[in-house]
Amino acid sequence: MSSVIEIVKASITAYNDKNWGNAKGMFAANAVYDEKGTHRRIQGAGEIIEALQGWAKAIPDSKATFVREFASGDRAVFELVWKGTHTGPLQTPTGTIPASNKPIEVPACQVVQVEGEKVKSVSHYFDMLTLLTQIGAKSD
């Protein structure tokens, strides 16, 4: 039986590797992904993967660097830094932002619940304004 930290780390690594089959397999069928930076709340493993693929389309080389993690019971908290280059269209609630070819470096935190060795829920906290400023979509 894998630890909560191992399961969460594997799910994030599957995103880093853009291994969508592995990533989808890490989520419970009825998992919930609550993306605080965009105010999106997505339910279902397939729908979550579609959202993650949208990020990968906008920032194909995006990867999370693990800063620290903590687990208690069925939950883990991961501090991350997302890095990459915005080379594709970024879909936002207010429209599409064309590629800027600018690098991003955005600190983030994920609070993840694991159930039966699958990710049951993710609350993903990050500063969307920082990302938009870095790609030139918002001025300081």
pLDDT (tens digit per residue) in 68-91: 999 999 999 999 999 999 999 998
DSSP E strand boundaries for 1-136 = 27-35, 40-43, 63-72, 75-85, 90-92, 95-97, 103-115, 118-126
* Nearest-angstrom CA–CA distance, 44 and 22: 15
Question: Which stretches of the chain score pLDDT less than 50?
Answer: none
What's the maximum distance between 2 C-alpha atoms anywhere in the chain?
Answer: 48
pTM of the model: 0.93
| pLDDT at res. 1 | 61
- The reported pLDDT for the residue numbered 108 is 98
Q: Which domains does the chain show, CATH number per domain?
A: 4-134 (3.10.450.50)
Backbone angles phi, psi at 9, to 5 degrees: -60, -40
pLDDT of 30 = 97
